[in-house]
Amino acid sequence: MSNIGSYEERLKGFDWDMAKEILGWEEGELLNIGHICSDRVCARGQADKAALIWEGFGGKKRTYTFDDLRVYSNGFAKFLLDRGLKPGDRICIFMDKIPSLYFSFLGVLKMGGIAQPLFSAFGDESLEVRLESAGTAAILTTRKHVKKVRKILEKLPELKHVIVVAGDESKLKGEEVFFNVEAAPRVEEFDAYEATPETPSVLHYTSGTTGQPKGAQHVHNSIWGQVLTTSWVLDLREDDIYWCTADPGWVTGTSYGIIGPWSLGVTQCVLDSGFTCVRWYEFIQDNRITVWYSAPTAIRSLMRDGVEPVKAHDLSSLRHLASVGEPLNAEAVIWSEDVYGLPFLDTFWQTETGAMMISNYPDMPIKPGSMGKPFPGIEAAVLDLKTHEPIQEPGRVGLIAFRPGWPAMFRAYRNKPDIYRSKFAGAPEDATPDELRTNPDLWYVSGDRASIDADGYYWFVGRDDDVINTGGHLVGPFEIESALVEHEAIAEAAAIGKPDEVNMEVVKVFVSLKPGFEPSGDLELSIMNFIRKKLSPLAMPQEIEYMEKLPKTRSGKILRRYLRALEWGEDVGDLTTLEDD
């Protein structure tokens, strides 16, 4: 039986303290995420268990135990304090997925700092925007990436420490300091910072899919949400070998790529090399991975490469798959069940929510294309677009919203109190962030739309900004895109509204084709008819544009706002998050 067992039973008498029971946590124990993910696991007899199985480019491979995690995170914590950094300082972690990323993340938390992980492929401009916004005091990076920091250092007066943690020590400049934790003396003892539940922990910037990225501030109390969802949704157990493909520059890579699995003492694998389908399958095969948490964009790429590479590998160790980041097309769920013998379970959440909010569960029947049901303990609804009252009729589309107050909820948008307030429907003008977060009469409005069916399953429609208004009818892009990827020629698709004099908007789609297919008049007709028959004449694209690759954010999300702006002749806005390789 799965950890969650019966979803229905879990709804009854739910209490977030069940997370504490899972960890055997007693009141009065030290609440510090860095400590719980390393020291505490060792103290419970798992010091010699593998925590991190790491592979880099060229097949480089290392394994680290929980004791290594403990000692190396101590090393970072002590080093940072010795440099004069203090609890509450924002400390940016800007590196590839090398082991020191993981050690330093825990180390920053252990010394009471606020970890600000940023995706290493960001260029200097993307980096500057986020360091400026955070008032970052120190950046931990590598020789490979320090060049980008050098370019912007003068413009960031608050950034006092540039610490290079890997690469060639001899080529540093100015005030840069070198610190290789594995070569430094071992720090066996370190008293982790006595955090309270409300002590800030991680500052995560959103993906920037809809506009300027926002800095969502999280706190140490988030761990209870992460522990319980990791246990009940990802179903992690003692003997699992777990792989979360997300980069810790995004919230999935920390909530479920560090905090969830390691607080539970689970072994996890990290692959720090580029994506190819064969490389991924080899990684699963070689490490006997059992639980795999990934994203629709990767799954669609695997689908594009077809079933042959699957057959060429032994993937029999897999027992549970889940997905997050974008809507998961029904086609992808059915395909994975066909080829891996396991469906990907969709999970819906955001940087702001810190943990899964709506999800499919191991023992609950799946409806492919649905996001599933609210996590026990989360009160969710879809709200009427105008009145903000919860919609009662099944199938009617509204705004996905949650009652505030769950443990992993963000506590602020850095420097943007008004935007934070605007996320709460019915918020009084003068409410403080704490009042907003704890007011049980408010709704936190996610910015996404969905409907709920008669069985209580949620169906994603699109982001508020992406919904297409054609002839007075609202059409969700997800439905069109999901239908498009069922067409034999199409690998990926994005649907947007294009200005139209008669209908206000009409549907325009951008598609990339599977290997072996070429654009042609016949194909165009076939795609249009396919959608007309499957959905409706309203949803039928009036225009199809072929693209080699769709524009995406660095975290792999299709950037519809970019396509839309080009179509409407508008300013494309902040593009610091656009993937450009």
Q: Contact between 210 and ligand ATP (CB under 6 A)? A: yes
The smaller minimum CB distance to Mg ion, of residues 71 and 496, is found at 496
Interface of this chain with ligand ATP, residues 307 to 346, rule: CB under 6 A:
324-328, 346
Please identify which residue in 32, 74, 136, 206 interacts with ligand ATP, judged by CB under 6 A: 206
In the list 230, 329, 350, 512, the residue contacting ligand ATP (rule: CB under 6 A) is: 350
Task: Verify binding: residue 437, ligand ATP, rule CB under 6 A.
Answer: no
* Among the listed residues 161, 554, 557, 560, the single contact to ligand ATP using CB under 6 A: 557
Does residue 368 touch ligand ATP according to CB under 6 A?
no
The interface with Mg ion within residues 63-122 (CB under 5 A) comprises: none
Helices (H) and strands (E) in the chain, counts: 20, 27
Ramachandran quadrant class, 299 (left: phi over 0; alpha: psi -120 to 50; beta: rest): alpha
Size of the site for Mg ion (CB under 5 A): 1
Q: How far is the CB of 349 from ligand ATP (least distance, A)?
A: 6
Scanning 110-118, 198-206, 238-246, 326-334 for contacts with Mg ion by CB under 5 A, the matching segment is 198-206
| Binding to ligand ATP in span 111-170, by CB under 6 A | none
Which of helix, strand or coil describes residue 532?
helix
- Based on the shown chain and the rule CB under 6 A, indicate whether residue 371 belongs to the binding site for ligand ATP: yes
For residue 44, the 8-state DSSP code is I
Q: And the tokens for 531?
A: 């959608």
Site string for Mg ion, 204-243 (x = CB under 5 A): --x-------------------------------------
Task: Tell me if 354 sits within 8 A of 322, measured CB to CB.
Answer: no
Q: Is 74 in the site for ligand ATP (CB under 6 A)?
A: no
Q: If contact means CB under 5 to 8 A according to the sort of partner, which of ligand ATP, Mg ion, none does residue 466 touch?
A: none
Q: Encoding tokens for residue 89?
A: 């300082």
- CA pair distance 347, 31, nearest whole angstrom: 27
Torsions phi, psi for 80 (to 5 deg): -65, -40
One-letter amino acid at 14 equals F
Q: Indicate which single residue of 446, 470, 503, 512 sits in contact with ligand ATP (rule: CB under 6 A).
A: 446
The least CB distance from residue 335 to ligand ATP, in Å, is 17
Report what 213 binds from Mg ion, ligand ATP, none; CB cut-off 5-8 Å by kind: ligand ATP
Q: Using CB under 6 A, which residues numbered 457 to 476 contact ligand ATP? A: 460, 463
List 75, 99, 113, 208, residue binding ligand ATP (CB under 6 A): 208
Token pair, residue 281, equals 């399958």
* Residue 428 CB coordination number (10 Å): 12
| Nearest approach, Cβ of residue 449 and Mg ion (Å) | 13
**Owner of token pair 């994603």:** 460
DSSP secondary structure, 106-163, as one string: HHHHHTTPEEEE--TT--HHHHHHHHHHHT--EEEE-HHHHHHHHHHGGG-TT--EEE
Q: Quote the least distance from Cβ 557 to ligand ATP, whole Å.
A: 5
Output the six-digit token pair for 500.
């139209």
Structural contact between residues 84 and 94, judged by C-beta atoms closer than 8 angstroms: no
Task: Kindly state the tokens that stand for 204.
Answer: 């995560």
Compare residues 3 and 206 and give the one whose CB is closer to Mg ion.
206
Strand duo 114-117 + 61-65: pairing: unpaired
564 in contact with ligand ATP (CB under 6 A)? no
Task: For the CB of residue 427, give the shortest distance to Mg ion in the complex, in Å.
Answer: 18
232 binds ligand ATP, rule: CB under 6 A: no
Q: What's the first-to-final CA gap in the chain, in angstroms?
A: 44
Contact 469, 495 (CB under 8 A): no
Structure tokens at 347: 């999970």
Residue 327 binds what, of Mg ion, ligand ATP, none (CB under 5 to 8 Å, by partner type)?
Answer: ligand ATP
371's contact among ligand ATP, Mg ion, none, with CB below 5 to 8 A by partner kind, is ligand ATP
CB of 148 to ligand ATP, least distance (A): 21
Q: How far apart are CA 284 and CA 204, in angstroms?
A: 28
Question: For Mg ion, which residue has the nearest CB?
Answer: 206
| Least separation in angstroms between CB 463 and Mg ion | 8
Cα 249 from Cα 21, distance rounded (Å):
30
How far is residue 375's CA from residue 349's CA, in Å, rounded to a whole number? 11
Q: Residue 309 or residue 447: which is nearer to ligand ATP going by CB?
A: 447
Task: Identify the helix (H) or strand (E) that includes residue 496.
Answer: strand 490-500
331, 448, 479, 481: which one contacts ligand ATP (CB under 6 A)? 448
DSSP 432-494: -HHHHHH-TT-EEEEEEEEEE-TTS-EEEEEEGGG-EEETTEEE-HHHHHHHHTTSTTEEEEE
Place of tokens 């007693």: 26
Report, in Å, the least distance between residue 37 CB and ligand ATP.
22
**Nearer Cβ to Mg ion (206/294):** 206
- DSSP lists the bridge partners of residue 399 as 383, 449
Helix, strand or coil for residue 497?
A: strand
Please list every residue from 92 through 111 that binds ligand ATP, using CB under 6 A: none
> Binds 325, which of Mg ion, ligand ATP, none (CB < 5 to 8 A, cut-off by type)?
ligand ATP
Q: Which is nearer to Mg ion, 206 or 482 (CB)?
A: 206
- Beta carbon of residue 352, minimum distance to ligand ATP (angstroms, whole number): 6
Q: How far is the CB of 249 from Mg ion (least distance, A)?
A: 15
254 forms part of the interface with ligand ATP (CB under 6 A): no
Other beta carbons within 10 Å of 405: 17
Closest distance of CB 500 from ligand ATP, Å = 25
User: DSSP letter at 265?
Assistant: T
Number of Cβ atoms within 10 Å of the Cβ of 359:
27
- Under the binding rule (CB under 6 A), the answer on residue 410 touching ligand ATP is no
- Position 240, amino acid: D
Kind of pairing, strands 412-413 and 443-452? unpaired
**Amino acid at residue number 544:** I
Q: Which option in Mg ion, ligand ATP, none does residue 200 bind, with CB closer than 5 to 8 A by kind?
A: none
- 247 is an interface residue for ligand ATP by CB under 6 A: no
Footprint on this chain of Mg ion (rule: CB under 5 A): 206
Footprint on this chain of ligand ATP (rule: CB under 6 A): 206-211, 213-214, 250, 324-328, 346-348, 350-351, 371, 446-448, 460, 463, 555, 557
